[in-house]
């Protein structure tokens, strides 16, 4: 039986989205050593798999339809629309929530890069702004954006499976980076590390994280 999937087959758009997302990622996260290249490679695989299924061929839905008895009538390339049965409304809700998380994540990612860039220009330890809430805001933003786009908006076997791998890889990378920071800044960084969490801000910190990522400092500063 030949299934028809709505919202699929636009390979040209898939290529465009892969190129744009990859450019944005490498623009602000240029790998410098093998650990960073490993992390970048996993994210690149996530991006390719996500948009290839989103606009090209929905392999996840195809496998569910073929091997797990998913209803073959009115299949949509979006997993939430087909699995939960909310149709276009389900896809719209997941799209809005997913894009909201994606844009928040991109904002945090870029603002974290800017703060770190300015600090490195002066060879300083950055402890304010986003870095006053989490020690690795770029990675926090990356996690939020990928979760929004690849789990909430358009989940696939590959995007859902790769997401925890990405978190693990960047956790290990963050630990490696922190060892170098201790060597460079000593007790100053150790004191900072004791006070500020790695990826997840403390209670009430999420609102400040979003505010500061958009250039607003929040009322607590």
Assigned domain for 221 exists: no
Assigned domain for 220 exists: no
CATH classification at residue 167: 1.20.120
| pLDDT recorded at residue 108 | 95
C-alpha–C-alpha distance, residues 92 and 111, integer Å: 28
What's the pTM value of the predicted model, to 2 decimals? 0.86
| pLDDT recorded at residue 40 | 94
φ and ψ at residue 31, rounded to 5 degrees = -60, 140
- Of 215 and 176, the structure prediction assigns the larger pLDDT to 176
Structural domain that includes position 112? 11-213
Please give the full DSSP string across 22-73, using - where no structure is assigned: HHHHHHH----SHHHHHHHHHHHHHHHHHHIIIII--HHHHHHHHHS----T
The pLDDT of residue 192 is above 90: yes
34-59 pLDDT, tens per residue?
Answer: 889 999 999 999 999 999 988 888 78
Assigned domain for 158 exists: yes
For 16, the enclosing helix (H) or strand (E) is helix 11-28
60-99 pLDDT, tens per residue?
Answer: 777 777 776 665 555 666 777 666 666 667 778 888 999 9
């Amino acid at each position: 039986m030949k299934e028809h999937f709505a919202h699929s087959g636009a390979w040209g758009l898939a290529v465009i989205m892969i190129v744009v997302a990859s450019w944005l990622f490498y623009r602000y996260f240029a790998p410098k050593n093998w650990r960073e290249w490993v992390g970048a490679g996993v994210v690149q695989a996530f991006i390719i798999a996500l948009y290839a299924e989103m606009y090209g061929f929905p392999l996840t839905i195809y496998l569910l339809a073929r091997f797990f008895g998913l209803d073959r009538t009115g299949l949509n390339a979006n997993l939430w629309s087909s699995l939960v049965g909310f149709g276009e409304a389900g896809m719209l809700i997941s799209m809005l929530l997913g894009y909201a998380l994606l844009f928040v994540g991109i904002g945090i990612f870029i603002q974290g890069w800017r703060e770190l860039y300015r600090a490195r220009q002066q060879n300083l330890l950055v402890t304010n702004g986003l870095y006053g809430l989490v020690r690795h805001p770029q990675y926090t933003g990356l996690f939020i954006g990928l979760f929004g786009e690849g789990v909430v908006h358009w989940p696939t076997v590959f995007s859902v499976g790769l997401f925890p791998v990405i978190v693990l890889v960047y956790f290990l990378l963050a630990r490696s980076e922190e060892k170098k920071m201790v060597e460079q800044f000593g007790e100053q960084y150790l004191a900072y590390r004791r006070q500020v969490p790695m990826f997840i801000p403390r209670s009430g910190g999420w609102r400040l994280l979003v505010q500061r990522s958009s250039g607003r400092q929040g009322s607590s500063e």
